[in-house]
Amino acid sequence: MESFNEWQKKKTVSTKQKLLTRWQSLNYQEHKYIPMNPKGLKGTSYDDDGVRITGTQEFIDSILVRIKDLLAIEQSNQLQLDVRFDTVKSKDPQKFMQQRFAMYINAKSKTKPHF
């Protein structure tokens, strides 16, 4: 197995065109199952599986309707959704009058860890 340093040397940042091409080529049937791993017990969930949607309520709703498959996690015996919804204060004067939000969706374990 290669070391972390070897892997880090190979790591590349994809160009916008590569990302758009990959996105376009994704097949729903091949990726229908969502393998969402539970977030860690403490601290940030930045590097955990999850979704962050920011913007107006109308924009967030238009994305949520497209990712309803995540709701199946709630039916799991082992996982549940951890959902947070916060108001965001924009620093942009043009967006100041329009209310903005941030929604975070992660999975968490239903069972408490045994220490």
pLDDT per residue over 13-48, tens digit each?
A: 678 888 888 889 989 888 877 788 887 766 677 778
Greater pLDDT, 80 or 33: 80
The amino acid at 59: F
pTM, 2 dp: 0.73
In a domain, 11, yes or no: no
16 three-class SS: helix
> Domain limits at 58?
34-39+47-115
For residue 83, the model assigns a pLDDT of 95
For residue 7, the model assigns a pLDDT of 47
In a domain, 27, yes or no: no
CB atoms under 10 Å from CB of 100, counted, come to: 18
Q: Is the pLDDT of residue 111 over 90?
A: no
In a domain, 53, yes or no: yes
In a domain, 5, yes or no: no
In a domain, 29, yes or no: no
In a domain, 12, yes or no: no
- The count of C-alpha atoms lying within 13 angstroms of the C-alpha of 85, restricted to the half-sphere facing its C-beta, is 9
In a domain, 111, yes or no: yes
**How many Å apart are CA 39 and CA 106, to the nearest integer?**
7
**How many Å apart are CA 77 and CA 96, to the nearest integer?**
43
Question: What's the number of domains the chain is made of?
Answer: 1
